[in-house]
Amino acid sequence: MIDLWGKPKSEDVKQAKRILRQIECLSLAHRPWSVLSQGERQRILIGRALMAGPELLVLDEPCAGLDPAAREHFLQFLERLNGVPKAPSFVLVTHHVEEITPLYTHMLTLRKGRVVASGPLAKIMSSVAQQIGGEGGGHDGAAGWSGKVDTVAAESSFISHVAKISRGVD
């Protein structure tokens, strides 16, 4: 872990550069935080968390403050990050069903703080689509909804959802 008060060790600097490449931010290494876009900041914060080598990352509303194009780019970034060897599992908490990508395989749906559905993503998304009048998000059906995920989280204006990605956990 990089020491905030002293000079970083050379192995920490190497790891930080490796992670900056991994999160597609090496070109931002010397830019001040104040000039980064919200999407760049989100990726840098994920990189900061990756320095500790976590097995799990909880992403709580990671697309908040992003415009639609930046949100799509960030969600694609998460898909690519998931494909990296030794990538951590993800738990996504969101109010927007359309942010639940094929990265996730399971979902927990909340309504007024109570679990109303949980299980495989395709099954729950189908149920959610029926409950909110057919608005199932930006992805069609269950095609391609597989990955190294165990649960996911999201919420629409009527229903809250929770989803998690885990590797090898049932």
Q: What is the mean pLDDT of the chain?
A: 75
**Residue, of 4 and 96, whose pLDDT is higher:** 96
Q: In this structure, how many other beta carbons lie within 10 angstroms of the beta carbon of residue 11? A: 8
Amino acid 35: pLDDT: 95
pLDDT over threshold 50, residue 144: no
pTM exceeding 0.75: no
Query: Considering only the top CATH level, what class is 55-170?
Result: alpha beta
Over residues 80-104, the pLDDT tens digits come to 888 888 888 888 888 777 888 888 8
Spell out the residues 6+ positions from residue 71 whose beta carbon is closer than 8 angstroms to its own: 63, 99
The CA angle 45-49-51, to the nearest 5 degrees, is 120
pLDDT tens-place string over residues 25-61: 999 999 999 999 999 999 999 999 999 998 888 888 8
Instruction: Answer yes or no: are the C-beta atoms of 139 and 101 closer than 8 Å.
Output: yes
Which tokens belong to 24?
């597609």
Q: Can you give the residue ranges of every domain in the chain? A: 7-53, 55-170
